[in-house]
Amino acid sequence: MQLARVIGTVVATVKNELLEGRKLLVIQPLDASLKNAGKPMIAIDSVGAGAGEVIFWCRGREASFPFDPLEVPTDCTIVGIVDTVTRI
CATH fold of 2-81 reads OB fold (Dihydrolipoamide Acetyltransferase, E2P) (2.40.50)
Secondary structure letter of residue 14 according to DSSP? S
Mean pLDDT of 36-60: 95
pLDDT tens-digit series, residues 68-88: 888 889 999 999 999 998 878
In angstroms and rounded to an integer, the radius of gyration of the C-alpha atoms of the chain is 13
Q: What's the rounded Cα separation, in Å, for the pair 22 and 31?
A: 27
Residue extents of the structural domains in the chain: 2-81
- In Å, what is the CA distance from 60 to each residue of 15, 48, 56, 85, 86? 20, 21, 14, 25, 27
Specify the pLDDT at position 6: 98
Determine the 3-state secondary structure of 60 from DSSP: helix
- Strand-pairing partners, residue 5, are 28, 54
Specify the pLDDT at position 1: 72
